[in-house]
Structure 1
Amino acid sequence: MSTTPSSPAAQTDAMGLAYEHVRDAILQGRLKPGAWVSQVQLAADLQVSRTPLREALRRLQTEGLVQLDFNRRIRVAPLSIPDLETLYSMRLVSEPLAVLLSVPQLTSAELEDLEAEMSAMNTAAETGDEEGAIAHHRRFHFLLLSHTEDRLRTQVESMWDHSVRYLRLYHNAPSYRLALITMGRTGHDEIYAAAREGRARAASNLVAEHLARTALTVIASVAGAHDPKMIRESLRFVLEGAE
């Protein structure tokens, strides 16, 4: 059934397209942190009306990717070490919970997929294929969450994408991002083994430790004098709760 440009279905489609386009531009760094963008110009560039664009921008605002002002401009969310630490701390609390709930429900086929993604991730990292390594790394972790309730899973996946944005913008060199994945190889092996054996609590704790190591490494690389107390407290909170 066709839709007219002003129909509810067409407006929803336009909102979705605008959301995906702007979100991808921000996460990939094409829209720079702190940059001001005219909504009028953006609507013209995307060839959408203002109504679906406003809805898309409100959705991006709730994700923390844009800031809106009263002059109908948008500001791409700036980067900051406190925000990065908060982001990883939130992941540290929510992602291990999602893994804990999901791992007992993983099927044999899903465990095979998990192993395949891990192997492909390692191969891509070894051959310098950054985009391939990131994609397989993402799918590996998301498979661990595949049986989590939608709201929690969506939140965790969104925060994952925000973390990658920070890595892309703080470290332009692909070698650094590849090194992070290579550094986590032992952790991935241990997480996979725990999931395969159905040890959900162990997998959850290993994911928490894996995230904390990555966060501490990234923060130290860009702000060595910063004390990442929130990361340490978040990890302690998760592991002490497990005990």
Structure 2
Amino acid sequence: MNEAQLGPIPKRSLRDDAYHGLRRAIVSGALQPGAQLTEPQLARQFQISRSPIREALHRLEQEGFVVRRPNGRIFVAPLDAQELEQLYAVRAVNEGLAASLAAPSITDDDLAAMEHHVEEMRRLAAEGDVDGSLQAGQAFHDVILERSGNAPLVEIVRGLRLRISRFRTMIAAGRDQGSRAAEHREILEALRSGNPVHARCATERHIHQSAASVLNRLGDASGIAAEDRAAGADQG
């Protein structure tokens, strides 16, 4: 692990700051899957004591960002295709439900906000700001979640998104942004019609298409990594 990737953090809430700093490094790819994490090294890099690091690692383990081996060693969790497929399947069901709940009560202000987010997705993608386009897409879905009026459902979906965020770089690279914006437009029009079934179906279809794209990207990355390992073995 390159110590230049991490730095000191302000002493506000050390446990939370350590958690967010580590999660950000994992999601961005600064900490690669399989990288070993040790409390002394992280404490030295963040310039804090080991206690908040230990608590941050425990939280990240609960959320699936890191794994603890039987010998107690901690590693950044691998990008697992089966896990991703399962996460997207659960997300599709729950966000589809949120859309069906939101459809009858969607407001003109909601629709205007979602229209804005779709246009932002297009604009940012055209400018090459794929991460910004992804954030605009999330804001689009946030409108639906809030309008669903179901607080436990909102909590479930946000937890799923958090776990899926580990695959963010592949989500960004693996999708045609024009198609992605068109799928959001389809959801928007289904909500505009006020039809819960259409809203659910459009949302589930979009999420399944996203899953297929990212899984393909993950498979390609795994194949390239395997080829690299084989080439290294041949050279050795």
Q: TM-score range by the shorter chain?
A: 0.7 to 0.9
Aligned-residue Cα RMSD (Å) equals 2.6
> For residues 203 and 12 of structure 1, do their structure 2 counterparts lie closer, same or farther at Cα, with a shift above 3 Å needed?
farther
Question: Match of 1:91, as an amino acid?
Answer: R
1:144 matched residue in structure 2 = 144
Cα separation, 2, equivalents of 1:187 and 1:69? 41
Question: Match of 1:132, as an amino acid?
Answer: G
Whether 2:169 is the aligned partner of 1:160: answer: no
Structure 1 position 69, deviation (Å): 4.2
2:178 matched residue in structure 1 = 182
The alignment partner of 1:128 has SS state of coil
Divergent runs of 4+, >4 A: 69-72
Cα separation, 2, equivalents of 1:167 and 1:183? 18
2:193 matched residue in structure 1 = 197
Cα separation, 2, equivalents of 1:99 and 1:217? 22
**Residue ranges of structure 1 left out of the alignment (5+ in a row):** 1-10, 225-243
Q: Is the 8 A contact 2:98 2:153 kept in 1?
A: yes
2:127 matched residue in structure 1 = 127
Percent identical pairs in the alignment equals 33
Question: Match of 1:216, as an amino acid?
Answer: A
The Cα offsets for residues 198-220 of structure 1, whole Å up to 9 and x where unpaired, read as 32332121110111122223323
Whether 2:38 is the aligned partner of 1:38: answer: yes
> For residues 200 and 55 of structure 1, do their structure 2 counterparts lie closer, same or farther at Cα, with a shift above 3 Å needed?
farther
Question: Match of 2:219, as an amino acid?
Answer: A
Q: Is the 8 A contact 1:27 1:162 kept in 2?
A: no
Question: Match of 2:126, as an amino acid?
Answer: E
1:6-155 map, 5 Å: 13-69=13-69, 73-147=73-147, 148-155=149-156
The Cα offsets for residues 62-92 of structure 1, whole Å up to 9 and x where unpaired, read as 2111113466642111012212211211212
1:209-220 map, 5 Å: 209-220=205-216
The alignment partner of 1:67 has SS state of strand
* Count of aligned positions: 209
Cα separation, 1, equivalents of 2:66 and 2:110? 36
Question: Match of 2:23, as an amino acid?
Answer: R
Cα separation, 2, equivalents of 1:58 and 1:154? 20
Structure 1 position 222, deviation (Å): 4.2
Cα separation, 1, equivalents of 2:44 and 2:72? 14
Structure 1 position 119, deviation (Å): 0.9
Cα separation, 2, equivalents of 1:164 and 1:107? 29
Cα separation, 1, equivalents of 2:114 and 2:178? 17
> For residues 222 and 19 of structure 1, do their structure 2 counterparts lie closer, same or farther at Cα, with a shift above 3 Å needed?
closer
The alignment partner of 1:223 has SS state of helix
